[in-house]
Structure 1
Amino acid sequence: MSASANSTTRAVVVDDSRFMRTLIRTLLEDADVEVIAEAGDGREAIDVVQEHDPDVVTMDIEMPEMNGLDAVEAIMDQCPTPILMLSAHAEEDADVTFEALDRGAVDFVTKPGGEVTSEMPRVKRELVEKIQSAAAVDLSATRGKSRPSPTSATSSSKSASATSTCSSSDTAAEQLPEEGSTLIIGASTGGPNVVERVLAALPKEAGLRVIVVQHMPKGFTKRFAARLDARCEYEVEEATDGDRIGPGQIRIAPGGSHLLVTSDRAGRLKLQLSDDDPLHGVKPAIDLTMSSAAEVVDAPLAGVILTGMGRDGVEGMSRISRAGGYTVAQDEETSAIFGMPKRAIEAGCVDTVAPDDCVTEEALRGLTT
């Protein structure tokens, strides 16, 4: 089940530490999230979730009897429920966290580290936001439903009649974009696995320059980049200040910094990191990266907005559209959360609405027209 807009979110807290369970319960109940049950290990969590049918589960990773990874897999198999992983804020835990997403978890949040008291404002804000976001996830979209065809979008309605089909990548491969064309991708909750599929489908010979803004904490984006590098044909790295990106390269906006495109010279984009305040409550913000690219990119430009809650990316997609770029939004049926894509579509700045496995082809198609 999932919480409706007018009901209280019901959560189950799973952690082998009684202190951490109490802490999480307190933070959630202070924000009017009802903690209906707790569990001290993965095996107990399966029984508790089956009994109470919560809207969302917070899941620790390292636990006795059964760890969080195995518990996620069992819950998603037996009683599918949105699961938010609680990860230690350490690089060595990033790979395990991504494996949890592979097994069906919808998102993750970092636990407090070091001095717990000083981190409480951050932990409470992030935990509550992620809980609400996770509870809104459409699990059917993340578990391989049948995919519709992409459609053209209009400013007056979500979508019009189908204009193309996406049965293979042959069409995109027949006519490749100009080398050095630029693709900016923005995603939030439910995004990491979709981003991976989009990038894995990029033909190396297209020679795109790609920037990805995935809402993710500091310390995880470097491992995310390494993971993507191993799974696609392009060179993928976490962006650094002053970085220059050329054809066949992908840069991931680092968690905790905004990423700006400052120039497009000799076929290479120059990138700059910014420590400005969060925008829309997030850092990095999709809007800032897309907007900066729309101002300076000389080559063909496309923007893609994927699953996520909120409105980050709407202004950026609008800027790309106004600059003559092509824009693609993930469709409702395949979005874990149809928030950011829906708002971009409603703003009238989206050229095509496509299921996740058609996004790459539609972006390539747009870059060739």
Structure 2
Amino acid sequence: MRGLITDVLESGGIEVVAEAADGAEALTVVAETEPDVVTMDVEMPGMDGIEAVERLMREHPTPTLMLSAYTEDGAEETFAALDAGAVDFFAKPGGEVSMGVSRMETQLVETVRSVAGADISGAGGTGTGAGTDAGTNAGGGAATAAAAGRGAGTATAARTAGEVEPNTTVVVGSSTGGPDAVERVLAGLPGDADLRVLVVQHMPEAFTGRFAERLDAACDLDVCEAADGARVGRGEVLVARGGRHLEVSRYRNGRLRVSLVDEDRGQNVRPSVNVAMESAARTVDDPLVAVVLTGMGDDGAEGVEAVERAGGRVIAQDEETSVVYGMPKRAAATGRVDSVLPLEDVAGGIVGGAP
């Protein structure tokens, strides 16, 4: 598997400067070679990926991409690695792993390059910046590149629940670095605020249910994974299910109804922030807020334009606190963003406008 990962990365123009058979050896080779990015399997003999990431972030902070099993158990372990400081993860598909890696090699290369440029200061170290070298630590796999990481700052609600406009709908989109950033934003929202929230995080299906559970435990709002036909009202949050687009299909009396769509809709990711925001802009006739957080790519740029045209407000995370300043940058470039805020101010911006 290490040979296969090396071949895939080098065929994509990335120089692999070292390999390691387990976590302990990985720490040694990272210290010796100082790579720009590390790929790390979650499950390894001896020191596993979670412990290895914890030590790596303490001793030699380096942007790290986890290679994880495409299962609910794999999701639990992967989130633990993200908590330890890993930037992102790449989920292995079912079946023959080597075939899966080869089939998804372009996506794996793009994800490794994105992680190499991540700002990991929130994980206790300083990002090395984008580069062309990579240290490969263990066997991996492939599937949809989902996102996670460590944001900077702590989200706090700068306004009170009473100042929220009645029947406000919020659509939050994120990718690389998003799970931590979304958690911090939701934790800063008052539980009794008149908000109904949709979260679109680029993440495969096996992971979004566990992600919703984590968010529910971290904030005062009621959070669950979206189901087709689900409704969301005051104080409730739906997390888009991986592998499906989330659309607002109906809005009445402060309650949203959503549909899960198994079509590409012209997007290269599923779920897509664009699809959710555009559907909300078409359907919701009460106050609407679009939020674009850290992530690679341009998903959300079309969505914020639709929200602004519909009279809604648009907030983008700033570059300094973004793990990857891709999606917020592209959103800001549309000229439709009302506020560019550090992560710790986003919740306050949602509740009562920009501080």
C-alpha distance 93-206 of structure 1, shift in aligned 2 (>3 A)? same
The C-alpha deviation readout for 1:110-145, integer Å capped at 9, x for no partner, is 124313465345432332221111111122355499
Q: How many residues align?
A: 329
Q: C-alpha distance in 1, partners of 2:269/2:98?
A: 22
C-alpha distance 66-116 of structure 1, shift in aligned 2 (>3 A)? closer
**Aligned match for 1:126, one of 107, 122, 132:** 107
The residue number in structure 2 matching 1:51 is 32
The residue number in structure 1 matching 2:216 is 229
Moved more, 108-117 or 32-41: 108-117
Q: C-alpha distance in 2, partners of 1:132/1:45?
A: 19
Q: C-alpha distance in 1, partners of 2:200/2:313?
A: 17
The structural deviation recorded for 1:193 is 0.3
The residue number in structure 2 matching 1:337 is 324
The residue number in structure 1 matching 2:230 is 243
Secondary structure of 2:206's match? coil
Q: C-alpha distance in 2, partners of 1:168/1:188?
A: 18
Indicate if the aligned counterparts of 1:142 and 1:336 stay in contact, CA closer than 8 A. no
Identity of aligned residues (%): 52
The residue number in structure 2 matching 1:86 is 67
Q: RMSD across aligned C-alpha pairs, in angstroms? A: 2.2
C-alpha distance 58-118 of structure 1, shift in aligned 2 (>3 A)? closer
What TM-score do you get using the length of structure 2 for normalisation?
0.88
C-alpha distance 260-28 of structure 1, shift in aligned 2 (>3 A)? same
Question: Is residue 302 of structure 2 the alignment partner of residue 321 of structure 1?
Answer: no
Question: Is residue 44 of structure 2 the alignment partner of residue 63 of structure 1?
Answer: yes
Question: Is residue 278 of structure 2 the alignment partner of residue 297 of structure 1?
Answer: no
Secondary structure of 1:230's match? helix
Question: Is residue 29 of structure 2 the alignment partner of residue 42 of structure 1?
Answer: no
The C-alpha deviation readout for 1:240-273, integer Å capped at 9, x for no partner, is 1111111111000111111111111132111011
The residue number in structure 2 matching 1:77 is 58
Structure 1 gaps, min length 5? 1-19, 146-165
Question: Is residue 9 of structure 2 the alignment partner of residue 22 of structure 1?
Answer: no
Q: C-alpha distance in 2, partners of 1:201/1:360?
A: 5
Secondary structure of 1:264's match? strand
The C-alpha deviation readout for 1:273-326, integer Å capped at 9, x for no partner, is 111127552111101100110111122110100001111101101111111111
Which amino acid letter does the alignment assign opposite residue 354 of structure 1?
L
Indicate if the aligned counterparts of 1:111 and 1:123 stay in contact, CA closer than 8 A. no
Indicate if the aligned counterparts of 1:262 and 1:272 stay in contact, CA closer than 8 A. yes
Which amino acid letter does the alignment assign opposite residue 321 of structure 1?
E
The structural deviation recorded for 1:167 is 11
Which amino acid letter does the alignment assign opposite residue 296 of structure 1?
T
Q: C-alpha distance in 1, partners of 2:245/2:154?
A: 36
Q: C-alpha distance in 2, partners of 1:109/1:260?
A: 25
Indicate if the aligned counterparts of 1:209 and 1:245 stay in contact, CA closer than 8 A. yes
Question: Is residue 347 of structure 2 the alignment partner of residue 360 of structure 1?
Answer: yes
Question: Is residue 193 of structure 2 the alignment partner of residue 196 of structure 1?
Answer: no
Indicate if the aligned counterparts of 1:259 and 1:271 stay in contact, CA closer than 8 A. yes
